[in-house]
């Protein structure tokens, strides 16, 4: 059972455009929703994270939108740059209970210049 | 502290051989996680420790896999009688739990190729 479903699998965006990646989760006990960025040959690095008591969190060009009733959350990258080209993973866990992060399958983003 | 360190970065082994990977977490972190990542997939949880106690093991962790964290600091992951299906990136992550988990930091991984 895949607990975190991510889409699309790949995305091509022009420089300056908006990149949008979506995730849906099933476990209502999840209370922590991070996005990780991974470059080839590197480990994933935390980009931004949200908890379900807020509907949106913004850090620079990166925004998470969270819809608790729909059990969905998304990553928006504004003014996408070639340096944003990477694989992005959504994840979720029950942070209060201390469970491990469950990851989506990833989205490969290519930003064309 | 330079972050989570994993060794080796790459390992090529023949089918049937045993391999061992090491992870050194961020020093003050009491949680340590092992994940496996195959090409085009997200990291899949294998097991995690709080201090030296192994608290959870995934169904993915067959009896050929064993992990230890003997003194609550570094951890090792051993795969016995490797199979070609074990070829993957093995990622280690660490975090601090007091009482909630802080951000999980990942190492650069050990890429295992079984030939």
3-state secondary structure B30-44: CEEEEEEECCCCCCE
The pLDDT confidence band at residue B98, using thresholds 50, 70 and 90, is low
Q: Quick check: A28 contacting B, CB < 8 Å?
A: no
Is pLDDT of B2 > 90?
no
pLDDT > 90 in chain B, percent: 81
Q: Are B80 and B102 in contact (CB under 8 A)?
A: no
* Cα A27 from Cα B108, distance rounded (Å): 29
Mean pLDDT of A11-32: 96
8 A C-beta contact, residue A90 and residue A75? yes
- Cα distance from A14 to chain B (closest Cα, Å)? 23
Between B41, B100, B101, which is nearest A106 by CB?
A: B41
For A34-72, the pLDDT digits (tens) are 999 999 989 999 999 999 999 999 999 999 999 999 999
Note whether B4 contacts A43, CB cutoff 8 Å.
yes
Q: Kind and range of the H or E element at B106?
A: strand B105-106
The pLDDT, as a whole number, for residue B28 is 87
Best of B7, B42, B60 to mutate (most A CBs within 10 Å, chain A):
B42
pLDDT digits (tens, 9 = 90+) for B48-84: 999 999 999 998 888 999 999 998 899 999 999 999 9
CA A110 and chain centroid, separation: 15
Question: Which chain A residues contact residue B104 at CB under 8 A?
Answer: 34, 46, 101
Q: Which of A62-71, A103-112, B102-111 has the lowest mean pLDDT?
A: B102-111
**Does residue A97 register a pLDDT over 90?**
no
Mean pLDDT lowest for which of A4-8, A104-108, B1-5, B13-17?
B1-5
Question: φ, ψ for residue A56 (rounded to 5)?
Answer: -155, 145
* Residue A96 binned pLDDT confidence (cut-offs 50, 70, 90): confident
The predicted-structure confidence for B3-54, as pLDDT tens digits, reads as follows 999 999 999 999 999 999 999 999 989 999 999 999 989 999 999 999 999 9
Across the interface, of A43, A100, A105, the residue whose CB is closest to B106 is A43
pLDDT at A2 over 80: no
If you write DSSP's letter for every residue of B22-78 in order, what string do you get? EEE--TT--EEEEEEE-TTS--EEEEEEETTEEEEE-TT--TTEEEE-TTSS-EEEE
Cβ neighbours of residue B63 closer than 8 Å, sequence gap 6 or more: none
pLDDT value at position A45? Answer: 95
- Cβ neighbours, 10 Å, residue A64: 23
Residues of A with CB below 8 A from B24's CB? none
pLDDT for B100 equals 67
Give A1's pLDDT tier (boundaries 50, 70, 90).
Answer: low
* pLDDT at site B60: 83
**Mean per-residue pLDDT over chain A, rounded:** 94
């Amino acid at each position: 059972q895949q607990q975190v479903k991510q889409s699309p699998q790949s995305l091509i965006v022009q420089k300056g455009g908006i990149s949008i990646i979506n995730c849906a989760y099933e476990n209502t006990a999840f209370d922590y929703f991070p996005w990780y960025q991974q470059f080839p040959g590197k480990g994933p690095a935390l980009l931004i994270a949200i908890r379900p008591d807020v509907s949106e969190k913004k850090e620079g060009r990166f925004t998470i939108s969270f819809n608790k009733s729909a059990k969905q959350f998304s990553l928006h990258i504004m003014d996408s740059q070639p340096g944003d080209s990477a694989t992005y993973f959504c994840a979720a866990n029950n942070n209060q209970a201390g469970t491990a992060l469950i990851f989506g399958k990833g989205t490969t983003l290519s930003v064309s210049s | 502290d330079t972050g989570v360190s994993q060794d080796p970065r790459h390992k090529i082994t023949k089918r049937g051989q045993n391999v061992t990977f090491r992870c050194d977490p961020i020093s003050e972190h009491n949680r340590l996680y092992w994940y496996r990542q195959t090409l085009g997939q997200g990291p899949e949880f294998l097991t995690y420790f709080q201090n030296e106690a192994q608290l959870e093991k995934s169904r993915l962790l067959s009896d050929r896999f064993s992990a230890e964290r003997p003194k609550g600091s570094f951890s090792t992951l051993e795969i016995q009688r490797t199979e070609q299906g074990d070829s993957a990136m093995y990622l280690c992550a660490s975090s601090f739990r007091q009482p909630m988990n802080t951000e999980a930091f990942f190492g650069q991984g050990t890429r295992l190729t079984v030939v």
